[in-house]
Amino acid sequence: MYTLSLINNYIKSGVRALTRHKMFLALNFISLSIGMAATILVGAYALHEISYDRDQPNAERTYRIIDHDVKSGRSYSLSSPRAFQQYNKISGVEDHMGLFKADWLIERNIEIDGTDFKLGDVYAGTENMLDFINIDVIQGDLAPALSQPDKIALSRAEAIRFFGSVDVVDQKLLGRKKTWTVAAVYENLPTNSHVHMKAIISGKPFLPYMGKLAYAYLRLSENVDVESVSKSVTQIMADIWQSSMDVSGTVYKLQPLLDIHLDPNLKEEMKIGGAHLVVNLAIVLSLLLVFIASFSSINMSVARAGERATEVGIRKTLGATKSQLISQFLFESVLLYIVSGIIACVIAFFFLADFNLLVGRQLVLEYWSWVGVAIILFVVLLGLVSGLYPAVFISSFKTKRVLSGDLSRGKTSIILRKVVLVLQSSISIGFVVASLSFYQQLNFLQDLSTNYERVNRLQISSILTGKVFYHEHFDETLDQVALEKLQREQSRSLTRAVENLDGVVSSTATDFDFTRSLNAGVRNVTIQGVETFAQSFGYGGVGYDAAKVLGLKLVAGRDFNQQSDWHNREKKTVSIFIPESMVLLAGFDNADDAIGKTAHFAAGPFKKINAIIVGVFKDIKLSSVKDVSYPMIFGCGLSWTQSSSMVFEVEQDTANVRDQIKTLMQDKLQMYPLEVESLESNYELIYQDDSNLSKLILTFSALIVCLTTIGLFGLCAFTAVRRSKEIAIRKVLGASKLSLVVLLAKEQIFINIIGMLLISPAAYLLINRWLSGFNDRIEQSIVIYLLAGVIITCITAATIAVIVNRVMKLKPSRVLRDS
């Protein structure tokens, strides 16, 4: 009862003390609620990111096999059909499951009741899929879909897209050659899973293909040494492939299921995953925001402590104990934080859509759940922590001194205030530097010459290699030589047909993707008179006119032509381009000397190829400049990968040109449907993650600078009020506005300089670490640091000028009389 009355009294005096200074209140609300809103959004994001795949059965004992190339540091999902039969024999492996993307192996165009549809994200799996992936079947039974070749299971979204209902078991999807029968409908898979399947079919018919695009999952028994299992897997693969490929630089690793989402993405992920760096950075940034907002709030509270000091003196005189006073001020702080927290929830709600766009997720904020309770606890805790210092500080005023009007502040509080200001200024300057550097580096990357052409280049990928190159068949009964001749003819006719299209200049085939990386390499390379190269080279299979279509810069020799260059299986010959960097390695004086020479190498299933050098090109940069790039050889008409692309040089990238290409290629290759992409936009996609990261940092830096400025504004406003008498006297004595700004800003500018000196080494090291991830990078320059300091100092000076302007408007006579 008594306590209630006292709390009531605290509320009243707290609310009134806060509302008396509307500006103080507004500044506090703005900075605290922005800081907290950022934390709420980032918190939701972080929770979402770490929740991936936690709901899968026995998630903590499930692993995915990945193939790790020691030299390049890159990982792939690579398996072998023959390995699947052996996984269960490894001791410690309870079970294994195979899953792979079937889009490129099945006919995706289907017809339902006379309407055309296209299947997408179709995955084929082994029968035990449900033991590894949680799938909530709402209609029918998944087992037939996983065991019978003509059955299919659809997700809820796909069932509704095709039929408008989920009650569709036994309905038919009609393709040209094949009819699918729906066996089951399952609930859309949760977004917080690395698995993304819109339709599921049986993996049985595709077992021989379970190579490159296959994911192999293992379930281990409890307390099994993961390392020894991965060694066994590496051994199995080595045994299988020792005859056909170089396995020395390859190890197999078991990637924990729970790490898949945040680990570096493989090229073949079902969907783009997250990154530890982004999550950690976002958490650090949002906490910094809250700290900065809280520091500002603490500083403002301490700065205006004088106003509350009289009240403290009176309350003490009237019998309040120190602990009662501390709890009163803590209570006020918590009140301030709770109201800010409520505003923060509203802000977070309204900015959720933008934030989702920034992080590429579909987050929802469920305030009416434990999330709400967590937010309340967080806000109250923050209120208590940041209220503690001002509360103790204000309550410790000596009653006698306060009541006789002596409000000089202790040394500790002044030192603390300065430390906080230096800290804030360091953080601000640090983030301005970081933002500028990120921006610079990304611009640099975008402008970097990759030595191949992306403008007006279109591409169709995921073509079965056998359709555009000769492809080695393991079936010994076929006449390989006849097949190859047929293929060469087909390629010529395809080239002619494409060039007849309006707006298309030329075309070529490639067995790799420019924006990703090479699929193959060659080894045991010798060039006339030169010993075997120690290093292996990357290899890319291309078609006719490759230099022209791909925009390679030939420094010597000529382009591949239709007369003599295509791979000849009988004679084991092929024409090749070598990179400029190889010329010196091979001991030639200049590029022209290399032309016409013969090189030998082993490549994929071919033990020895006789390659004639017809061109030397400027080394190109594939994939992201973050990746290590190796010198690569291009060979005409020779490929042993599974999936290839066609690249088209067009006069202009228009919808009409794309349509023509698509129609012609679907018809010629008998593959449906094909998609036409632009090399330029694919290239931009490589830097999507970096660009999102830089957007994130830019947004948070802007907020950090903004909150620091708000805090500074509040602090200076109170300093100005405290020194209003001094300012008035100076004004009476003839001080100009500028001299007053300098008077008030002097200290802060000094603080900024110290802040800059303090943060620079740390910022330099951190930014250098980030930059070292790129092979091509900018040099950090002192100009950026000075610029950041100048920006922050200008903002500081402008803030103080606004306040001086306000104070100058007051009549000195009034100020002096009032005091």
**Sign, CA torsion 386/389/391/394:** negative
Q: Does 443 bind another protein (CB under 8 A)?
A: no
Note if the bond before 673 is cis, omega within 30 degrees. Answer: yes
d(CA 404, CA 406): 6
Residue (320 or 501) nearer to another protein, CB: 320
Q: Binding segment for another protein among 37-45, 256-264, 317-325, 810-818 (CB under 8 A)?
A: 317-325
Q: Binding segment for another protein among 11-19, 245-253, 652-660, 796-804 (CB under 8 A)?
A: 11-19
The string of DSSP letters for 400-423 reads HHHHTT--PPPHHHHHHHHHHHHH
Please give the structure tokens belonging to residue 55.
Answer: 């709901």
Residues 703-732 within binding reach of another protein (CB under 8 A): none
Q: Does 6 bind another protein (CB under 8 A)?
A: yes
Q: Does 318 bind another protein (CB under 8 A)?
A: yes
Q: Does 9 bind another protein (CB under 8 A)?
A: yes
Q: Does 478 bind another protein (CB under 8 A)?
A: no
Q: Binding segment for another protein among 289-297, 320-328, 442-450, 603-611 (CB under 8 A)?
A: 320-328
Q: Does 69 bind another protein (CB under 8 A)?
A: no
Considering the complex, what minimum distance in angstroms separates the CB of residue 816 from another protein?
A: 18
Considering the complex, what minimum distance in angstroms separates the CB of residue 815 from another protein?
A: 17
Closest CA to 109 of 124, 126, 123, 122: 122
Where does 343-500 show beta strands of DSSP type E?
A: 457-464
* Site map 404..433 versus another protein, x via CB under 8 A: xx----------------------------
For another protein, the binding residue among 135, 226, 320, 790 (CB under 8 A) is: 320
Considering the complex, what minimum distance in angstroms separates the CB of residue 24 from another protein?
A: 13
Residue (5 or 412) nearer to another protein, CB: 5
d(CA 495, CA 486): 14
d(CA 637, CA 543): 5
Residue (172 or 725) nearer to another protein, CB: 725
Residue (208 or 405) nearer to another protein, CB: 405
Can you tell me whether residue 252 is helix, strand or coil? strand
Residue (10 or 533) nearer to another protein, CB: 10
Q: Binding segment for another protein among 197-205, 380-388, 397-405, 571-579 (CB under 8 A)?
A: 397-405
Considering the complex, what minimum distance in angstroms separates the CB of residue 714 from another protein?
A: 19
Considering the complex, what minimum distance in angstroms separates the CB of residue 313 from another protein?
A: 7
Residue (402 or 522) nearer to another protein, CB: 402
For another protein, the binding residue among 64, 151, 316, 488 (CB under 8 A) is: 316
Q: Does 474 bind another protein (CB under 8 A)?
A: no
Residue (164 or 319) nearer to another protein, CB: 319
Residue (322 or 558) nearer to another protein, CB: 322
Pairing type for strands 554-557 and 520-527 reads unpaired
Q: Does 314 bind another protein (CB under 8 A)?
A: yes
User: What does the DSSP 8-state code read for residue 258?
Assistant: G
Q: Does 319 bind another protein (CB under 8 A)?
A: yes
For another protein, the binding residue among 118, 161, 322, 806 (CB under 8 A) is: 322
d(CA 347, CA 754): 34
Q: Does 814 bind another protein (CB under 8 A)?
A: no
Considering the complex, what minimum distance in angstroms separates the CB of residue 14 from another protein?
A: 8
d(CA 121, CA 145): 15
Q: Does 12 bind another protein (CB under 8 A)?
A: yes
d(CA 653, CA 647): 13
d(CA 395, CA 314): 11
Residue listed under structure tokens 């309407």: 115
Cβ 507 vs Cβ 498: under 8 Å: yes
d(CA 270, CA 121): 8
Considering the complex, what minimum distance in angstroms separates the CB of residue 335 from another protein?
A: 13
d(CA 81, CA 208): 6
Residue (411 or 769) nearer to another protein, CB: 411
The string of DSSP letters for 198-246 reads SEEEESGGGGGG-STTEEEEEEEPTT--HHHHHHHHHHHHHHHHTTTS-
Q: Does 2 bind another protein (CB under 8 A)?
A: yes
For another protein, the binding residue among 128, 310, 573, 780 (CB under 8 A) is: 310
Can you tell me whether residue 556 is helix, strand or coil? strand
Considering the complex, what minimum distance in angstroms separates the CB of residue 307 from another protein?
A: 8
Contacts of 279 (CB under 8 A, 6+ apart): 45, 46, 49, 50, 262
User: What does the DSSP 8-state code read for residue 528?
Assistant: T
For another protein, the binding residue among 17, 407, 505, 757 (CB under 8 A) is: 17
Contacts of 769 (CB under 8 A, 6+ apart): none
Cβ 97 vs Cβ 128: under 8 Å: yes
Considering the complex, what minimum distance in angstroms separates the CB of residue 710 from another protein?
A: 24
Closest CA to 444 of 762, 694, 703, 701: 694
Considering the complex, what minimum distance in angstroms separates the CB of residue 263 from another protein?
A: 56
Considering the complex, what minimum distance in angstroms separates the CB of residue 395 from another protein?
A: 12
d(CA 56, CA 167): 26
Cβ 622 vs Cβ 514: under 8 Å: yes
Q: Does 324 bind another protein (CB under 8 A)?
A: yes
* Site map 19..38 versus another protein, x via CB under 8 A: -x------------------
Distance of CA 576 to the CA centre of its chain: 37
For another protein, the binding residue among 268, 311, 627, 677 (CB under 8 A) is: 311
Q: Binding segment for another protein among 130-138, 196-204, 283-291, 314-322 (CB under 8 A)?
A: 314-322
Considering the complex, what minimum distance in angstroms separates the CB of residue 327 from another protein?
A: 13
User: What does the DSSP 8-state code read for residue 515?
Assistant: T
Residue (17 or 384) nearer to another protein, CB: 17
d(CA 759, CA 425): 9
Considering the complex, what minimum distance in angstroms separates the CB of residue 300 from another protein?
A: 17
For another protein, the binding residue among 221, 248, 321, 500 (CB under 8 A) is: 321
Can you tell me whether residue 96 is helix, strand or coil? strand
Q: Does 1 bind another protein (CB under 8 A)?
A: yes
Residues 568-627 within binding reach of another protein (CB under 8 A): none
Q: Does 817 bind another protein (CB under 8 A)?
A: no
Distance of CA 580 to the CA centre of its chain: 34
Considering the complex, what minimum distance in angstroms separates the CB of residue 26 from another protein?
A: 18
User: What does the DSSP 8-state code read for residue 534?
Assistant: S
Please give the structure tokens belonging to residue 56.
Answer: 């899968």
Cβ 35 vs Cβ 26: under 8 Å: no
How many chain residues interact with another protein (CB under 8 A)? 28
Closest CA to 442 of 629, 690, 627, 686: 690
Q: Does 276 bind another protein (CB under 8 A)?
A: no
d(CA 675, CA 652): 17
Q: Does 753 bind another protein (CB under 8 A)?
A: no
Contacts of 735 (CB under 8 A, 6+ apart): 727, 743
Considering the complex, what minimum distance in angstroms separates the CB of residue 351 from another protein?
A: 35
Please give the structure tokens belonging to residue 315.
Answer: 């309350």
Residue (387 or 615) nearer to another protein, CB: 387
Residue (2 or 474) nearer to another protein, CB: 2
Give the interface with another protein as residue ranges (CB under 8 A).
1-2, 5-6, 9, 12-13, 16-17, 20, 310-311, 313-322, 324, 399-400, 403-405
